[in-house]
């Protein structure tokens, strides 16, 4: 037997009956907290279409509790049984209560006395019996179709879901040049599950706010948009940890956060993905939030809420101690630095000293998208993966050719392998081959990216993990390019999983 109270339908094994609308009013009122605003919408709702959704979303946004009444079966214009119409409305999250109106609409409104009755704009020029009713008890009648454009929401939700098929185009000549196959890369990927990875760096939350363009302001030359929906993702060093876990490794993540709900969100998301988290709270900073305002598939504006001062000595000592506790069970240490104060130099030096002592493979990525960074401060790394700008900032050289710049960086950081990412032009690898310095390049593997944010994180994570399992730098860079190509195929810095990459490795290279 199924039973749904709160003004909804009842179904018994013997027969279907409906909770009377009078009883529904009592059930609804018993659950409305003092001070909450109740909105009411009514209609046939034969098929819930985008116009209905716009109206319901508008009503839910101007109230605390949304009640929806449907007219009973009988009239010719009602073609779907009441039970099915109620079920459809109950499936809509923004609707709090559904009611079968087994009494005149005016009687129901007079008894429920909703604060707001919402009707579509198409009724505005007609006589509305609700107008006098709501005025009598101090309510409001509001006409609106809502301001949401569902084409934008649909586009965003489509972009957030990466396609299931292969998205990367893989060059044959590079594999031939370095003597490996996709089968070898599949074996490498399989061995990721044997790794124990520790990630240290800044936790960042990435908010994607999809907007509907309104037009140009009449007062000044400013573009005006209306926010429609916001989605929040774990980013920064957090996404590096989530990628590593998605690839199958055992992952621990050490970071510094603010004492706020953002940190709570990050903790919940990372724990749900299987990452073992250690969050140290710094009362002097918020958890970093980066907001991207997007309209029609394009980013209009990015707003960062953060602090950039270094953590204090006590937090540094605490982080070092936490790493000491897990160093013996760490195969790979990843520094994911965004230069917001989480990794001061003294802390970096202490962690590197411990990594060298324990013979732990170490790799570093130090980002400088909108601030200063110096990747060369991470000495003695097995791998560093800066952008061209980050590499040139580190060596103070904006004139030399890229091959010369990568050689200078390799010397300055005393790094075994340097990979310089070049955005839409792919990447360049500076390493050793047959005992001699060697440089090679790879193009981008996805030539139609939707969102390039996070490409470097996925490349850095998968490449370092591949090298730790024994793959050489050339194979590792190729696998990293595949994961980066996969990552940019959707909107939002979402963690990859091993199944997605296996799907790319089954594709025939061209």
Task: Say what the pLDDT of residue 128 is.
Answer: 84
Alpha carbon 341 to chain centroid, angstroms: 23
Rounded Cα–Cα distance for residues 488 and 456 (Å): 10
Q: Which residues pair with 383 in a beta bridge?
A: 363, 417
More confident residue, 397 or 18: 397
**Is the per-residue pLDDT at 507 higher than 60?**
no
More confident residue, 135 or 168: 135
Which residue, 459, 461, 420, is CA-closest to 335? 461
Task: Say what the pLDDT of residue 354 is.
Answer: 97
Kindly list the structural domains of the chain, giving each domain's residue range(s) and its CATH number in brackets, ordered by start.
2-147 (3.40.50.620), 153-505 (3.40.1190.20)
Rounded Cα–Cα distance for residues 362 and 385 (Å): 12
- Percent with pLDDT over 70 in the chain: 90
Over residues 95-109, the mean pLDDT reads: 91
Confidence category of residue 509, pLDDT binned at 50, 70, 90:
very low
The answer to whether 14 and 89 are in contact (CB under 8 A) is no
Backbone angles phi, psi at 72, to 5 degrees: -70, 165
Residue 124 buriedness (CB in 10 A; 0-12 / 13-18 / 19+): exposed
More confident residue, 488 or 165: 488
Could you read off the pLDDT of 26-35 as tens digits, one per residue?
889 888 988 8
DSSP string, 424-453: GG-EEEEEEETTEEEEEEE--S-SS-S--T
Could you read off the pLDDT of 112-156 as tens digits, one per residue?
999 999 998 878 878 888 888 899 999 999 987 544 444 444 545
Mean pLDDT across the chain: 87
Could you read off the pLDDT of 281-335 as tens digits, one per residue?
999 999 999 999 888 777 888 899 899 899 999 999 999 999 999 999 999 999 9
Range name among 168-172, 220-224, 240-244, 303-307 with the lowest pLDDT average: 220-224
Over residues 354-382, the mean pLDDT reads: 91
More confident residue, 492 or 384: 384
CB atoms within 10 A of CB 380: 14
Task: Say what the pLDDT of residue 371 is.
Answer: 63
Integer Rg of the chain from CA:
29
Over residues 227-255, the mean pLDDT reads: 93
Task: Say what the pLDDT of residue 493 is.
Answer: 78
Task: Say what the pLDDT of residue 1 is.
Answer: 27
The answer to whether 121 and 145 are in contact (CB under 8 A) is yes
Which residue, 241, 180, 245, is CA-closest to 478? 180
pTM assigned to the model:
0.71
**Is the per-residue pLDDT at 426 higher than 60?**
yes
Q: Where are the alpha helices (DSSP H) in 327-413?
A: 345-357, 388-395, 402-413
More confident residue, 193 or 124: 193
Which residue, 265, 269, 276, 344, is CA-closest to 311? 344
Over residues 215-221, the mean pLDDT reads: 73
Rounded Cα–Cα distance for residues 121 and 124 (Å): 5
The answer to whether 168 and 485 are in contact (CB under 8 A) is yes
Q: At what angle do helices 455-468 and 473-487 cross, to 10 degrees?
A: 150
Could you read off the pLDDT of 199-208 as tens digits, one per residue?
999 999 999 8
Q: Which residues contact 96 (CB under 8 A, 6 or more apart)?
A: 6, 65, 66, 67
The answer to whether 111 and 136 are in contact (CB under 8 A) is no
């Amino acid at each position: 037997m199924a039973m749904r109270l709160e003004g909804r339908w009842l179904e018994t094994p013997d027969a279907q009956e409906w909770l009377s609308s009078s009883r529904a009013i009592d059930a609804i009122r018993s659950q409305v907290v003092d001070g909450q605003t109740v909105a009411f919408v009514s209609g046939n709702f034969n098929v819930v279409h985008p116009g209905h959704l716009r109206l319901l979303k508008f009503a839910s946004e101007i109230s605390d509790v949304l009640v929806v009444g449907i007219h009973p079966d009988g009239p010719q214009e009602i073609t779907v049984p009441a039970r099915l119409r109620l079920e459809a409305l109950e499936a809509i999250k923004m609707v709090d209560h559904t009611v079968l109106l087994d009494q005149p609409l005016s009687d129901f409104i007079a008894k429920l006395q909703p604060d707001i009755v919402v009707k579509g704009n198409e009724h505005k020029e007609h006589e509305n019996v609700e107008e006098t009713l709501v005025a009598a008890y101090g309510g409001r009648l509001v006409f609106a179709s809502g301001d949401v454009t569902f084409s934008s929401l649909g586009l965003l939700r489509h972009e957030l879901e990466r396609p299931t098929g292969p998205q990367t185009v893989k060059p044959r000549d590079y594999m031939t040049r370095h003597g490996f196959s996709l089968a070898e890369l599949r074996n490498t990927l399989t061995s990721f599950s044997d790794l124990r990875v520790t990630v240290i760096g800044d936790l960042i939350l990435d908010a994607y706010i999809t907007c509907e363009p309104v037009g140009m302001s009449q007062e000044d030359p400013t573009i005006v948009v209306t926010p429609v929906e916001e989605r929040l993702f774990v980013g920064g060093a957090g996404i590096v940890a989530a990628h590593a876990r998605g690839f199958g490794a055992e992952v621990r993540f050490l970071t510094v956060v603010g004492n706020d709900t953002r940190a709570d969100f990050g903790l919940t998301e990372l724990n749900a993905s299987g990452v073992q988290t250690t969050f140290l709270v710094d009362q002097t900073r918020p958890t970093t939030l980066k907001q991207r305002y997007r309209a029609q598939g394009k980013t209009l504006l990015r707003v960062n809420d953060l602090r950039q001062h270094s953590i204090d000595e006590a937090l540094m000592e605490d982080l070092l101690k936490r790493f000491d506790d897990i160093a013996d069970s760490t195969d790979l240490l990843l520094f994911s630095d965004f230069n917001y104060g989480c990794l001061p130099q003294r802390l970096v030096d202490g962690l590197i000293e411990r990594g060298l002592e324990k013979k732990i493979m170490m790799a570093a990525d130090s980002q400088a998208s909108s601030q200063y960074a110096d990747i060369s401060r991470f000495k003695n790394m097995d791998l560093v993966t800066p952008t061209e700008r980050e590499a040139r900032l580190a060596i103070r050289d904006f004139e030399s050719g890229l091959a010369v710049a990568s050689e200078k960086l390799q010397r300055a950081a005393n790094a075994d392998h340097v990979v310089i990412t070049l955005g839409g032009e792919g990447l360049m690898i500076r390493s050793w081959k047959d005992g001699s310095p060697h440089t090679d390049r790879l193009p981008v593997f996805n030539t139609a990216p939707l969102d390039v944010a996070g490409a470097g994180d996925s490349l850095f994570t998968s490449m370092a993990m591949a090298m730790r399992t024994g793959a050489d730098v050339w194979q590792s860079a190729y696998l990293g390019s595949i994961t980066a190509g996969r990552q940019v195929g959707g909107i939002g810095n979402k963690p990859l999983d091993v199944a997605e990459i296996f799907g790319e490795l089954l594709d025939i290279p061209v």
